[in-house]
Chain A
Amino acid sequence: NAGVMQNPRHLVRRRGQEARLRCSPMKGHSHVYWYRQLPEEGLKFMVYLQKENIIDESGMPKERFSAEFPKEGPSILRIQQVVRGDSAAYFCASSPGDTREKLFFGSGTQLSVL
């Protein structure tokens, strides 16, 4: 399966712990996007990265959240000191290039904060 791979599918954390969400884009794609979906809401853009560069992080909360897409390996969305309000489905998407093109989404990581 050459689709966008996200892991873990489910992640449970206690308040104050760190959450690390991983995303491997489709083969040949060098552009990664992270979206968050709160219950009963649509997906909200968080950040757009190319290899080793953050291009647009206008949707990222200013504190506790960070993202990277290293030269080698998957993209990581990191949430420090999680709070209950961080509980959501986090989706990663990739595209081959031109941002006008459709995005290919992974199956998401469901984060639950106890």
Chain B
Amino acid sequence: DIQMTQSPSSVSASVGDRVTITCRASQDISKWLGWYQQKAGKAPKLLISATSILESGVPSRFSGSGSGTDFTLTISSLQPEDYATYYCQQAKSHPLTFGGGTKVEMK
């Protein structure tokens, strides 16, 4: 199985801050990395697929980068609605695996 490791597990930030979350795969997954946002009590929502493809309706302040084993999700200017938990997921091979999550909290 491909292990996905996210860091940090939590981050405290203010509105307007730039937030960066990293995800590391235990082996090369090329560009097959997605990012989800989950708000309390809700299902996850796919934000980014294939490392950097922004899904329809996702604000442009979200961006993704990386390749191989190291990936990054960046929120360029944090908005109030962005406080949530973010998960990475590899889509290179079964079993599909998720990172442990990063909670973006209010500073």
Q: Is chain B found bound to chain A in the same assembly?
A: no
